[in-house]
Chains A and B, each alone.
Chain A
Amino acid sequence: MPDLTANSAPTGEITVLFFGSLALKRGQRKLTVAAEAELTLRQLVSQLGGAQWHSFLLAVNQEQTNDLDRLLHANDEVAMMPPFSGG
């Protein structure tokens, strides 16, 4: 009986959210990307054109982070955010 689970491609997706001026710049608020193995936050930001953003903050699963080497996994929610301006 072959093991159908072995060597299967990574399943699942990462949700990416954009807020404020970044959503305007991107022309979208939300997208999903495939959860590839060994995908880091840095790679994701780069793929989405982060080099062109003036300044931004990142959160993974609703927690702010500066760790660009962080590995992303299926079902993670990544937020790309301009500096906050509440209050």
Chain B
Amino acid sequence: MDDQNELEDLIASYALGSLDDNEVAQVEALLKKSQVARDELANFQQIAEMLAVSTPAMEPSDSFEDRLFARISPVAEAEPTAAVKSEAANKRPTVMQPPTFWERVSAFFAQPRLQMAGGFAMMFLLFGSGFLMMQNLDMNRQLAGFENVLPTLELTAADASGATGLVVLSSNREHGTLVIDGMAEAPAGKEYQLWLIKDDVIEAGPTIPNLNAEGYGSRWVNSEQPLGSYDRFVITLEPEGGSNAPSGTPVLKWPPDQ
């Protein structure tokens, strides 16, 4: 048997993926120069696919699709079960509008790591407020207004675009996350950028690249000063990578009357 015949004998194994690397290289060299070899490979590949067909079907668990869609789209609403829908409806605060955006924000913060961070924050608040309650009723009165939720600042569109934004502050108001939705697609070479303004001093914030098809995106904001201490937030369109100073007109802003 000559070398070519030996190689042809390996085509079946090639179709099954069971050759060693050096044999793969030899067979691929043969395939480049031999139409007969290519035809035989095509036949064997069909046979290999038939092997997959031969396996019995098996149903995954009931939660499979919920878990899958939660995984592929953690910020999009997966199709919930009736029970989950009912529970969500009961829990939805009346101030949340429009629903699609808020449900996305809610889903975003339902991520395990944020849940854990939120859990720690809540524990901190509970222990902290309990401790302060015992020591100082006046301080407790201040904390009562803080509520047991992460404080948020809602950015509104500077024009009639309908875009919305939300800055969710950490429990200590030091940092936060910017979430935007309904933004127009940034032109080529441009990105949206957040600006933080305090006492008329403008500080460059992060850019928000990779918005999805619905203009949704989010970004962690790590500011020089406590995020909750800024007077204003503005989002503008800037050259890709961000600017040192705003050059575009405001797209979103907080507070709305500024």
Q: Do they bind each other? A: no
Residues of B at under 8 Å CB distance from A?
Answer: none
